[in-house]
Structure 1
Amino acid sequence: DMVIMQDELASRANLRTGAELVNVDIQNNAGAAHSGYPIQAGDADWGNLADLDRLKTTGSWGDYHEVGHNHQRRWWTFEGHEEVTVNIFAAYCLRNLVDNSPDGWSWSTDKLTTMDKSVSVTSESSYHSYWLTFWMNQAYWFGFDQLRDTFGTYEDDNDNDPGVLPTTIQEQRDQWIVRFSTQVGHDITGYARDTY
């Protein structure tokens, strides 16, 4: 369910050709876990990685997060947001697959709590929670389906006209604002510029 849900949110449901693979190892070379094919995880930190019962009852931000990395695209992942846009997928899974998760990131599953969090962390511009609120507020104000459909515009261009995809940091930001604003029928320029 988690992988299918993330494929759909990324507008890439029709592209899956195989399962997500996980390799738990004694000596992992990059933190507790890192994404890729396969996802790598250290046994000391993730000895119970992808435990189906746990995923269904309490969720697992770490599992959702690492699979989410495999759904990111450079076109809409701004510089410095590599550990941020991934959490759109983690929050989406936590919100839709688990009731009342005890996870420390559970604030991201509720519209009002996310808004409160964005107010409380506004001065912490380097903090991932601050940047995640930029994305989660868009998801809650307009719907995750609007994020999905905006991601889909990039996938369509990648298939049909890749020359229009952003290649610079400024183009990434500008195209996100234009594409998302067009998708939702509301100009988010002021929100993006003045708040974030």
Structure 2
Amino acid sequence: MDKLGRERGLISYATLADYNANMALATAGGTGPVNPALVRTASGSFVDGLAHFHLGKIFRLRTFIYLGTWLAIGLVLVYSLLTRERLELNVLHDRNPQFVRLSDGAIRNGYTVKLLNMIPEPRAIEVTLEGLDGGEMSIVGIDQAPSRSFSVPVEPDRLKTLKVFVRQPAGQIKKPVQSFEFRIEDKASSESAEYTANFNAPENGR
């Protein structure tokens, strides 16, 4: 408007409330057609009651409250993302059968163990059996003698599902239900997770 020698505000953004207020002013409250004389003074400038857009209509207390709320939500989401667990463990005990008696008298339980690697890099995860006196485990697909610890490779951003069998000699069984832990650890980052599972055996343990 300055380049054309016109008054500022002839073309501008307006809220719906401003538009309705200005139309009511120009039409004498809606009682007649638009009358420019109602919105301009004798000198041609706008009357004081004409609503104009200005920054104060945006930067109000309510706007800062909304901005602060969304900023707080964003910070919470970023914090949750940065502090989330990057290595997870889930274990499901076989329900049928709950246990199997082996030829040497030992009792074996089966478990489905899921390792979740939530970083875009491959990992070597150490899977360890803790507790359960005399207990050992074997993992289907891994050519290693029964042991209390296995190293399992896990691909980036992938879920690795393992079939794990845990056995305990008959002479070590003290009660029909025993608790023990599966523990996983990434030696490179020291991240770890644990899961408490149950080992089922016959009532007399033999």
Q: Could you state the TM-score of these two structures normalised by the residue count of structure 2? A: 0.18
| TM-score w.r.t. length of structure 1 | 0.18
Structure with higher Rg: it is 2
Structure with the larger strand share: 2
Hey, which of these two has a bigger chunk of helix by percent? 1
